[in-house]
């Protein structure tokens, strides 16, 4: 008897109920296996104890200096919430752009030199510089890819590609 309406209903044969429950349990089991498999495969990357394949970070940046910022601006090298030093751009005469760092020298290649650094160099379009970004030191390489002066004594923008080694003292930039 149907308790809500008072009508008699014929119950499902026990075999059909058992088949329905078996089908439902089979679907749930398949879903559980699929979920477990996806969780296992999601963890199939490098284990946390393995060293990263590289400790080098890269980027492209633009720094603009003008009278509004005292003809000086800094750019910090950041990745993953960490800062790996900085460079400064300034102009002593509002027409020349000077790069300043803990160490800087013109050069090219994938290994920063051990010595021969000064603290500043003129930013010249197409030139590449090795840099020490801080006292640790973190080594890097910076290539000037754009240099634009807007009006005489208005502003100077330097665009550059950079590579910085996140491991202190490591001069390899590849």
* Residues 23, 76 within the same domain: no
Residue 47, CA distances (Å) to 35, 39, 52, 57 in order: 21, 15, 10, 21
* Residues 39, 79 within the same domain: no
- For residue 148, the model assigns a pLDDT of 95
Instruction: Please report whether residue 171 resides in a domain.
Output: no
pTM, two decimal places: 0.69
Instruction: Please report whether residue 12 resides in a domain.
Output: yes
What is the count of structural domains for the chain?
2
Instruction: Give the integer Cα–Cα distance in Å for 104 and 122.
Output: 10
Domain of residue 20 covers 1-45
**Mean pLDDT lowest among 41-55, 129-143, 144-158:** 41-55
Instruction: Please report whether residue 97 resides in a domain.
Output: yes
Residue 80, CA distances (Å) to 77, 83, 166 in order: 11, 8, 11
Residue 15: what are its φ and ψ, rounded to 5°?
-65, -40
Instruction: Please report whether residue 130 resides in a domain.
Output: yes
pLDDT tens digits, 70-95: 999 999 999 999 999 999 999 999 99
Instruction: Please report whether residue 170 resides in a domain.
Output: no
Instruction: Please report whether residue 85 resides in a domain.
Output: yes
Secondary structure letter of residue 69 according to DSSP: G
According to the per-residue pLDDT averaged within each range, which of 40-54, 60-74, 146-160 is highest?
60-74
């Amino acid at each position: 008897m149907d308790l809500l309406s008072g009508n008699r209903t014929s119950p499902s044969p026990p075999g059909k109920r058992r088949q329905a429950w078996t089908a439902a349990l089979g679907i749930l089991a398949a879903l559980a296996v699929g979920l477990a498999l996806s969780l296992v495969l999601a963890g199939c990357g490098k284990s946390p104890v393995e060293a990263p394949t590289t400790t080098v970070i890269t980027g492209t940046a633009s720094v603009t200096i003008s009278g509004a910022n005292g003809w000086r601006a800094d750019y910090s090298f950041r990745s993953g919430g960490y800062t790996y030093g900085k460079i400064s751009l300034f102009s002593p005469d509002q027409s020349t752009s000077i790069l300043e760092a803990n160490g800087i020298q013109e050069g090219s290649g994938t290994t920063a030199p051990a010595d021969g650094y000064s603290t500043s160099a003129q930013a010249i379009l197409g030139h590449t510089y090795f840099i020490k970004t801080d006292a640790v030191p973190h080594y890097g390489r910076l290539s000037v890819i754009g240099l634009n002066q807007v009006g005489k004594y208005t502003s100077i923008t330097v665009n550059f590609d950079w590579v910085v080694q996140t491991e202190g003292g490591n001069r390899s930039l590849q």
